[in-house]
Structure 1
Amino acid sequence: MIRIIKEEEPSKPSTRISTEETAPSQAALRHTEPKKLAAMLRGELDWVVMKCLEKQRDRRYETASGLARDIQRYLSNDMVEARPASAGYRFKKFVSRHKGQVAAVALILVALLAGIVGTAWGLFREDKANTQLAKKIDELAEEQTKVQARFELAQKAIAALHTGVSEDFLLKSDQFKELRNRLLGQAADFYKDLEKLLEGQTDTKSRRLLAEGYFQLAELMGKTGSQSGALDVQRKALAIRRALAKEPGADVEMQLDVARSLGATGNILYATGDLEGALREFAEQEDVARLLEIKFPIESVRTALAQSLNSTSWTLYLKGKSDEALLASEKAVKILDEVSKINPNAAAIRFDLASSLMRMGTILPNVGKWQDAFSSLESARLILKKLADDHPTVVRYRHQLAVTTTNTSACLFDVGNFRKTLATTKEAISILQQPVDGYPGLIQFQHTLALDYLNSGRAMGELGMLLEAKPAFETAMKIWKNLVEASPTEITYQYFFAFCSNEIGKLQARTGNPEKSFEAHEKAKTLLQSLSEKQPTFHWAKRVLANTNENISKLLTASGKYEEALSVCHKALAIRQKLKEEQPNVTWTSEELSATLISLAKVQRQMVKLADALVSIRRAIAFLEQLPTRTPRNTYNLACCYALLAGISTMKEAGIRLDDGANYSNIAMKFLRQAFDGGYDSVSNLRVDISLDSLRTREDFKKLLSEQEKKFEDKMP
């Protein structure tokens, strides 16, 4: 036993654990396998234990503290003191135990050494060269590994930024502005450095990761208002993805990446008002997706195709091409409906379907399909309501539900049902309140909220609730002012800022403030003219510009400046006629042109240009009667036309027979009754619209007014 203790080396822990019967149970306690447990012990833990069991005192740990320090070094991944003994020390120990055998072997080695030396010297030089080459290869491999590791770290960093910041909706909060700019700046610099590191690299993985990084970075920049910078970065992603997609062996995902980048660049061009440029990107996106669908009719490809159609549809709608927009929208809805039936539990597909239905519901009124519009919007609302209820933490579902409700309120306003408009805007605001309170700086939420306050103010104005309308308009105006300052290249916010200014001008006129009214209209006019010049295809600006000119004409008429009023009204008419020529099959061009002709007729009547007034009124009637579907509001405008004819017939200069005048009055009352029975409910207009003055002495008019006033008191939300 003493000899064993003095001379025989003890077994290492890793060796013992691999041979003992208890190894499986010991490994199970540590949630691993016996082989892995032995591997964990092998190496530094073996050295520490063996140092404790060294034969010579001076090679063991001096104190328990020394052992503790070495264990701490192991836990800290530092080099332990208990490294294996030097080769010299091990050789000395071996010789002391085997002196005879070592002497014999030494003689043999001396004999062999002479022959080996000669051969070794010849191989040395070649080996040295090979060693240097291997070293260089190892260095290059190590450098490549570092580059890849740094790149993947950057990918994780930008993904974390994109998810953690973007999806938490903190991007537009004022208190995060400095942090946001710093983070985005660092992210951009990070990718510039990576671009340099990867320059000349041809491996697919690195290039694809870099493209994805650019894609996500551009999305972040766009959401924080830096559209021009976002476009440059997004085009870098697109260039890389195009190159990858052309290489042999490119898979379907690489082709889809091209489609996604085309959609992203199109969205940025759309946001900055370059609708033609956006349409080109969306058209190419559709081409890529359609070619892919032929070979790979899978969900991801089909949804990408639907996305391109939706984007094209909405851009065409903003250009006033509602017929073409509707065709594209219907195709998108059909695709997404089919995909959702195959995968009914996919929330993302249902969300896309609802969004497509919502957009289609917004386009349908422009081709006179009002009932289809409300049906489409309701289908979208039901899908989004269930998504929002099932996923209460997913904020975009609630936001899109609010957007759908907002669009429904806008449609209700256009048909003339102002009480329902007001109730629906209140519902939209209540849906938005929670996410707006949680993310007060998020740009999309603020824009939708402003739309709700705008629609609310307009509805209250039509209902005669003028005092209540003012704060609603002011709230909307304040939001859009902030959005314009935050995103100066985003034309949508500029447009609605001008739109709201025009509505405030109308309200000021009705509350007896003509100077403030004129000031608000002039502000709107200046902004809208600028937008129309910069973006000639953006017809929405031209529509509101025409309406602003009409409102200025009314102010001038009220102040007795008839010649100026007539001139301004003709400017409005010229805009309307051009829009009608450009979009002959779109219903709103006929509706709005008829409204401008009615305004012109009122000015002409004041100037006693009765023949001209009669021509204007009859043209308005013709446009209204040609509509494929007549809304309650259209019917009200028809009543106004015939009431104006009845009023002019009482003037001798008009040359209209009294019997014809009486007939016009009867027709006017018939249409007026139809309008209110159909849902038109502006009691305020019934009270004050000068177009109806010729009807006010009629008993049936008085009865209708009394009924509507009673209904107004009973049904106000």
Structure 2
Amino acid sequence: MNQDEWADGEGGAGSLEDLALEAIAAGPPGGSGEDAGPVESLAERAARLRLDVPARLRLFQSACRWVHAGHARGRIFGDLAPARLGATEAGETAEIPAGDESPDALDAWTSPERVLGEPPTTAADVYALGAILYELLADRPPIAVDPADPDAAALAITERAPERPSRAAPADRRRAIGADLDAIVLEALRKEPERRYASAAALADDLDAYLAGLPVRAGRTSEWGRLARFARRRPWAPTALAGAFVAAIAWGAWEAREARSLRRGRERLAVAAGAAGDALAAAVDRLADDAAEDDPATLRREILAGARAYYEGVDDSPARVARIAAVDRALGRKAEAVAGYRDAIDRWKRLAGDRLGDAALAESLADARAGLALALAPGAAGPDADAALESLAAAGETYLALAGREPGEPRHRRRLARVFGRRAEIERKLRRDRPALASARQEVALLEELRLIEPDRAEDRIELASAYGLLGRLLAARDEGAEAPAMALDRAIGLLDGVTGPLKDSPRVAFDAAARLVDLAEVQFADGSIVPATNSLARASKILEDLSAKHPAVASYRGQLAAAYNLDVEMLRGRGRRDEAKARADRARAILERLVVERPDEPRYVAALATSRQLLGRLLAQEGKAAEALKSFRSAADSLEGMKEADRTGADAYALACDLSLGLSLIGVKDGGKPIADADDPALTPADRSRRDLYARRAVEVLRQAVAKGYDAPDLYRRDPALDPLRPREDFKKLLEEILAKGAGNP
């Protein structure tokens, strides 16, 4: 299953999102569907919801487990058919009452042994399930049977082999049915009962392995069976086997050498552990020193480096490779982290071939795939974004399968929620608002369910608050009113305010609450609710000022405080309180200028500094201080121009264009004068006109970069006053036409 199938943009019918919660929340298989509302057959439900292949498999798995529960209670069905197995509106498997047909009639779901007069067994039910699955995938039975001709029907059932589902299925579904899924279906349809799946649950479990990307049991033979067939085909084999026994003796000698190698490995491990312990002890000593003023980020890097040294000395296992990749990701070593995670994934997949159905192995493989998505850290459309989404899709499928297999274990659902959250973050960066919103809602729904299971778990409350924060920001970006985003952000703040226990007064909870308050203030300010916005921002600023005073070395606290000050500048400027706004802008600028020096590898601080300088430029322009305003706009533009191209997001490119556009209108303006809109104004000198044209051409160029990186909302380009100086230009008009045409083609 590829990432496009799993993450089909809209979260519409037939996607994983439609059935994720339903599949997870489903408990033990139910009864006959009484009082559960209308029941439709599996095929009817699949057709009505336009389910893709993975969703059809999930629907079928639920039926398998329902049948297995019946078997566990001693019931043999004997008459399973597509018309007898259905699903309620809630997605629960239900039995459809039998019609008037004769119980002895032969059909495509009758097993070969039943044709020969044997009584119904669980194996016969497994055969019927295989036939139902075949029809669910191919839209036709595995074998054409005419009930009106019993002799021909019996011959077809016992002798005719079904075509592979991947060939029989409709053309638009064939690509999603691979060789493994063919093998699963045909294994269930074996003519010999003993060669089918041992139970309906085993069939469902093999589908779990298929959906998780692990090797399946279908089509495999035991090692002894392979050896026996090999010997029958090759009479010389017993002699060769005798030679193998001789080789086994040599193997024993090799094992002895390996034992010595293991002892040396343990010695290396002891050395690595000692080095890591020394590094940890040194860091702890520094943290415990009351007089120490070390930057926690520096200590964190040192501890991580010590951990990496430790893992490099341990056994060469997939888990060790994944741990080193996680450390590299935390240290900002992207290339090494990506390579490490991919190596770990390949190793887990190879190991999976020898340990089919191993839940712990499947979970480790999914964890590595989720880690790879984090390491790729895509900020724009491209191969990294595609690879990250594909990796999250594979991890999500595995967590979903594990959650279905172990419904009482919340860990799998918690990790699935994180997959949805990470996917939403990536889609948000790519400005794919609707799929991002669908993923964020799924994350919230899963975490709300987990909080009901463990209401006192503080970590779940904090994680849910973060999910609501993301949801609120996504809703705010849709520009459809303030009510929905404000509700989501209020919910996040309420969850954080309600944290109890050791984490109640932790800096982490306080910081998260302040960040959500800033988000809420932005929403309220954009909606014109000035008083609530002022109150929210005042509370956030107070929290962040306290955190920054108590923990001056923590850069993120100061960075968020500067963001709060920048928002306050906009609010004060809009209310005409320019002196207060300038003072606040100066404070934000001072904080950010220091952060840019301390954290040269953090482009977000450069972008925030540019925002602060642009706001100051707007204030100076309002006061008629054209020269100072132009200097401030130029400084803002220089900050963004100095960023690496890879670090500059679409939003950064757009801000750079605004800085240039605002600045060019002040070129040639004397203090006390108004911005000049007309490029042919007689007050402009030839040098002024040349300089303005240079600014304008560069502004349109970076606007194209913003569009290429997905920052292309038509209304923004059409209405933003900061771009007004560019509107008379032909190159800007052409760009705007392209953006509007693109928006019309992608409603």
* Range of TM-score over shorter length: 0.5 to 0.7
Aligned to 2:710: 679
How far is 1:637 from its partner? 1.7
Q: In the alignment, is residue 395 of structure 1 matched against residue 395 of structure 2? A: no
Q: Among 567, 573, 583, which residue is 1:557 paired with? A: 573
Aligned to 2:235: none
SS at match of 1:386: helix
How far is 1:250 from its partner? 8.8
- CA separation of 1:693 and 1:515: change in aligned 2, threshold 3 A: farther
Query: Aligned equivalents of 1:588 and 1:373: distance in 2?
Result: 19
Which amino acid in the other structure matches residue 333 of structure 1? Y
Contact (CA 8 Å) 2:475, 2:484: kept in 1 or not?
yes
Contact (CA 8 Å) 1:332, 1:356: kept in 2 or not?
no
Aligned to 1:631: 649
SS at match of 2:528: coil
Q: What percent of counterpart residues are identical?
A: 22
How far is 1:500 from its partner? 0.5
- CA separation of 1:605 and 1:388: change in aligned 2, threshold 3 A: same
Query: Aligned equivalents of 2:410 and 2:272: distance in 1?
Result: 27
Aligned to 1:28: none
Aligned to 2:529: 513
- CA separation of 1:313 and 1:663: change in aligned 2, threshold 3 A: closer
Aligned to 1:476: 492
Query: Higher mean Cα deviation, 702-711 or 506-515?
Result: 702-711
Is the radius of gyration larger for structure 1 or structure 2? 1
Aligned to 1:617: 633
Query: Aligned equivalents of 1:677 and 1:628: distance in 2?
Result: 13
- CA separation of 1:259 and 1:511: change in aligned 2, threshold 3 A: farther
Aligned residue runs from structure 1 range 487-498, under 5 A: 487-488=503-504, 490-498=506-514
Q: Among 362, 376, 385, which residue is 2:388 paired with? A: 376
Which amino acid in the other structure matches residue 388 of structure 1? L
Aligned to 1:337: 345
How far is 1:506 from its partner? 1.3
Query: Once the two structures are superposed, what CA deviation does each residue of 1:30-67 show, in whole Å capped at 9, x if it has no partner?
Result: xxxxxxxxxxxxxxxxxxxxxxxxxxxxxxxxxxxxxx
Query: Aligned equivalents of 1:413 and 1:622: distance in 2?
Result: 27
Aligned to 1:286: 308
Which amino acid in the other structure matches residue 425 of structure 1? A
- CA separation of 1:291 and 1:667: change in aligned 2, threshold 3 A: closer
Query: Higher mean Cα deviation, 600-609 or 418-427?
Result: 418-427
Query: Once the two structures are superposed, what CA deviation does each residue of 1:281-323 show, in whole Å capped at 9, x if it has no partner?
Result: 5444433333333xxx3x3xx6246436525743x4xxxxx3x
Query: Aligned equivalents of 1:492 and 1:279: distance in 2?
Result: 19
- TM-score w.r.t. the length of structure 1 is 0.53
Which amino acid in the other structure matches residue 483 of structure 2? L
- Give unmatched runs, 5+ long, in structure 2: 1-263, 288-294, 676-683
Which amino acid in the other structure matches residue 542 of structure 2? T
Contact (CA 8 Å) 2:714, 2:739: kept in 1 or not?
yes
- CA separation of 1:579 and 1:275: change in aligned 2, threshold 3 A: closer
Query: Aligned equivalents of 1:327 and 1:707: distance in 2?
Result: 36
SS at match of 1:648: coil
Aligned residue runs from structure 1 range 14-163, under 5 A: none
How far is 1:715 from its partner? 6.5
SS at match of 1:627: coil
Query: Once the two structures are superposed, what CA deviation does each residue of 1:93-149 show, in whole Å capped at 9, x if it has no partner?
Result: xxxxxxxxxxxxxxxxxxxxxxxxxxxxxxxxxxxxxxxxxxxxxxxxxxxxxxxxx
Query: Aligned equivalents of 2:556 and 2:383: distance in 1?
Result: 23
- CA separation of 1:423 and 1:533: change in aligned 2, threshold 3 A: same
- CA separation of 1:462 and 1:706: change in aligned 2, threshold 3 A: farther
Q: In the alignment, is residue 573 of structure 1 matched against residue 589 of structure 2? A: yes
- Give unmatched runs, 5+ long, in structure 1: 1-247, 317-321
Aligned to 2:618: 602
Query: Aligned equivalents of 2:567 and 2:740: distance in 1?
Result: 27
How far is 1:581 from its partner? 1.7
Query: Aligned equivalents of 2:483 and 2:277: distance in 1?
Result: 48
Aligned to 1:540: 556
Contact (CA 8 Å) 2:562, 2:588: kept in 1 or not?
yes
Query: Aligned equivalents of 1:503 and 1:702: distance in 2?
Result: 34
Contact (CA 8 Å) 2:345, 2:368: kept in 1 or not?
no
Query: Aligned equivalents of 2:347 and 2:553: distance in 1?
Result: 34
Contact (CA 8 Å) 2:399, 2:416: kept in 1 or not?
no
Query: Higher mean Cα deviation, 623-632 or 539-548?
Result: 623-632
Higher helix residue share: 1
Aligned residue runs from structure 1 range 147-296, under 5 A: 279-293=301-315
Query: Aligned equivalents of 1:528 and 1:401: distance in 2?
Result: 32
Which amino acid in the other structure matches residue 637 of structure 2? I
Q: What do you get for the CA RMSD once the two structures are aligned? A: 4.5
Which amino acid in the other structure matches residue 620 of structure 1? A
Aligned to 2:666: 648
Contact (CA 8 Å) 2:380, 2:709: kept in 1 or not?
no
- CA separation of 1:388 and 1:418: change in aligned 2, threshold 3 A: closer
How far is 1:379 from its partner? 0.9
Query: Aligned equivalents of 2:410 and 2:274: distance in 1?
Result: 28
- CA separation of 1:409 and 1:536: change in aligned 2, threshold 3 A: farther
Query: Aligned equivalents of 1:622 and 1:444: distance in 2?
Result: 42
Query: Aligned equivalents of 2:716 and 2:662: distance in 1?
Result: 15
Contact (CA 8 Å) 1:367, 1:586: kept in 2 or not?
no
Query: Aligned equivalents of 2:418 and 2:449: distance in 1?
Result: 14
Query: Once the two structures are superposed, what CA deviation does each residue of 1:152-173 show, in whole Å capped at 9, x if it has no partner?
Result: xxxxxxxxxxxxxxxxxxxxxx
Q: Among 474, 477, 499, which residue is 2:515 paired with? A: 499
How far is 1:523 from its partner? 1.6
Q: How many residues align?
A: 453
- TM-score w.r.t. the length of structure 2 is 0.51
How far is 1:479 from its partner? 1.6
Contact (CA 8 Å) 1:498, 1:527: kept in 2 or not?
yes
Q: Among 711, 722, 735, which residue is 1:691 paired with? A: 722
Contact (CA 8 Å) 1:336, 1:349: kept in 2 or not?
no
Aligned to 2:97: none
SS at match of 2:571: helix
- CA separation of 1:651 and 1:275: change in aligned 2, threshold 3 A: closer
